[in-house]
Amino acid sequence: MTAKSTNFALYILMFNMFIAMSGIGLIIPIMPEYLGTFGVAGQALGFMIAIFALAQFLFSPFAGDLSDRYGRKMIIIIGLIIFGLSQLAFSLSTELWMLFVARFFSGFGAAFIIPPMMAFVADITSYENRGKGMGLLGASMSLGFMIGPGIGGFLSKISLETPFYFATGAALFAAILSIFILPNPKPVIDGDPTTKVRENLYQQMKRSTKTPYFIILIVMFVFSFGLANFQSTIALYVDHKYGYTPSQIAILITVGGFVGVIVQTFVINPLFRRYGEMRVILINLVISAFSMVGILFVDMFWSILMVATIFSTATSLLRPAVNTLVSKLAGKEQGYAAGMMNAYMSLGNMVGPALAGIVFDINVGYPYILGMVILLICFAIAATWAKQHGPLLASTRTL
């Protein structure tokens, strides 16, 4: 592909990722009230978060494998259609079990969107520009998740169902756009992918432990755990301890997300070129660990905002750093590697909120202490691995 067509394809992928993430984010502010119409509340919301992540975990490796076999474009389009229709099904549900089924299919659709997009970026970018491409895709993900709640809150003034209708229309529009204008480069893989024996989820997860990037997948799991831990409890923490209003909580989340978008768009590629992805990962594991526990030592709004923004910025750098490094180490199995990354991320998204909720009920500060300890243990493991695999990591550096 030419540089012009590569940039065009990347912009379409960024748009699709933005649509998917805003569709996930826009229902966040209305979910408590919407679930209230079914006579349920917090526990049901927690299960819905978990079932979404479970579906991603189950189907991300499958989607990555399919994209290696049949191309990225078709899988992305299928994912957008499933995601859009699941949002419509959610709005039309009349029983609680229907909401859970619809949410499961939303996770299914997201699993068919995210790994093929990451593999697509690896297909169309040069080795040297891989970090920039992953950073831009990550920025569109952060931007969508940041803007989504605001759109959802605005549209909910029309009706509680309107945000779901909007998410449906946006996802289907992205699918139609992709059908007609998204390129369909052939994945670069060894041999004929259609003749390879298809592995089940267990076999794929087992094989991931033997890849050269397994420790980096563990990093993905741990930082996703920490991020989900923080995001699922920060609103409860500041409400419980300081009585913050929803608008103040929204500012805490939005400012960090905005800074993350800027960093992923303009800063991350120079950082990768100068220091390498592994060093960026190690430094930001430490920053995220101490900023996470740092929330317990500040009590003014501006200081809490600053600490939350530091944490958000560190995690914004971690995701594309992990994605880029795994992609460079994956060789010609980009779909499989992207599927594994999303699977490990989904595991973190499942375990993080569940464990955080349990320890939060014991003491409101425990989730942040636990998160710090786990992130620092992960740093120690990753640093030891990096020291042992210096030549391998040196081969991934781009100057």
pLDDT in tens, 241-290: 888 876 677 778 778 878 888 888 888 888 888 888 999 999 999 999 99
More confident residue, 34 or 279: 279
Helices (H) and strands (E) in the chain, counts: 16, 0
Under the banding of pLDDT at 50, 70 and 90, the label for residue 144 is confident
Q: 139: which 2 tokens?
A: 């920025």
Whole-number pLDDT of residue 196: 57
Judge whether residue 351 has pLDDT over 60: yes
Judge whether residue 381 has pLDDT over 90: yes
Nearest to 360 by CA among 239, 221, 218: 239
Residue pair 97/47 in contact (Cβ under 8 Å)? The answer is no
Whole-number pLDDT of residue 153: 76
CB atoms within 10 A of CB 12: 20
Judge whether residue 108 has pLDDT over 90: yes
Judge whether residue 34 has pLDDT over 90: no
Whole-number pLDDT of residue 377: 93
Whole-number pLDDT of residue 202: 83
Maximum separation of any 2 CA atoms in the chain, in Å? 61
CA distance 298 to 305: 10
pLDDT in tens, 310-349: 998 998 889 889 988 998 888 878 889 989 988 998 898 8
What is the arithmetic mean of pLDDT over 41-65? 82
pLDDT cut 70: percent of the chain above it: 92
Judge whether residue 24 has pLDDT over 80: no
pLDDT in tens, 328-337: 888 878 889 9
Whole-number pLDDT of residue 399: 45
More confident residue, 171 or 223: 171
What is the arithmetic mean of pLDDT over 91-101? 91
Judge whether residue 171 has pLDDT over 50: yes
Phi, psi of 48 (to 5 degrees): -70, -35
- pLDDT, averaged across the chain: 85
**What pTM value is reported for the model?**
0.81
What is the arithmetic mean of pLDDT over 65-93? 92
CA distance 223 to 159: 36
Residue pair 56/211 in contact (Cβ under 8 Å)? The answer is no
Judge whether residue 234 has pLDDT over 90: no
CA distance 179 to 80: 11
Q: Give the orientation angle of helix 42-70 with respect to helix 201-208, to 10 degrees.
A: 80
Determine what percent of the chain falls in helix, strand and coil, rounding each to the nearest 5: 85, 0, 15
Residue pair 346/56 in contact (Cβ under 8 Å)? The answer is yes
